[in-house]
Structure 1
Amino acid sequence: MVNLGLSRVDDAVAAKHPGLEEYAACQSNAFMKGVFTFVTGTGVTFGLQLFIKRKFAYPVQWSLLVSAIVGSVASYKVTKTESQKCRDLWIFLETGQLPKDMNTDHHN
């Protein structure tokens, strides 16, 4: 059986899709990179703001809000990019073709 998160996939479905385990591992890795990016992006942004705060005085809650927003945007972009790589991997594992090969324009 293949585990996807907390749920298990039936053996018949796993046999029908041999790349399912690799795809699940790729997606898990993409989400972990997103979480790591959020934590580090928020921390670095907050640290930079504390350093800049010496010149410009503004309340700490704005530093936290801006840091969380910057961390969220960075995390979204990283997760989106990594998830696209996983989708491309899934298409390759299922069809044997890269998505770029399937979308080529033959009218040139």
Structure 2
Amino acid sequence: MTVSDWLTVLTTTDAQEKAEALARGAVEARVAACAQISGPVTSVYRWKGGIETAQEWQVLFKTTGTRYAELEAHLRAAHDYDTPEIIATPVVRGSAAYLEWLEKETAG
């Protein structure tokens, strides 16, 4: 694999229970090796012509580039937001042992 083949993928949701369900579902489906939940965080964003402020929980998934499309599809299907945040960031470096584990856990 090349370094661009490992990703962290971020999404947010409005309840801790929903964040846990998104995380568990992705790991169970092996589209992510693991997910970390943090929050609440305060999000400020423009939506339908206005400025909104909301408490949200962030979920950071660890996956491979080959599993990204499946993770995105999983999140779109499981998420209750009209336009969920789904942002992938390449991992440019990491522990070889961790990255091997990530590949193994997402291999299906």
TM-score, normalised on structure 2? 0.25
Query: Which one has the bigger helix percentage?
Result: 1
Tell which has more relative contact order, 1 or 2 (C-alpha 8 A, sep 6+).
Answer: 2
TM-score, normalised on structure 1? 0.25
Query: Which one has the bigger strand percentage?
Result: 2
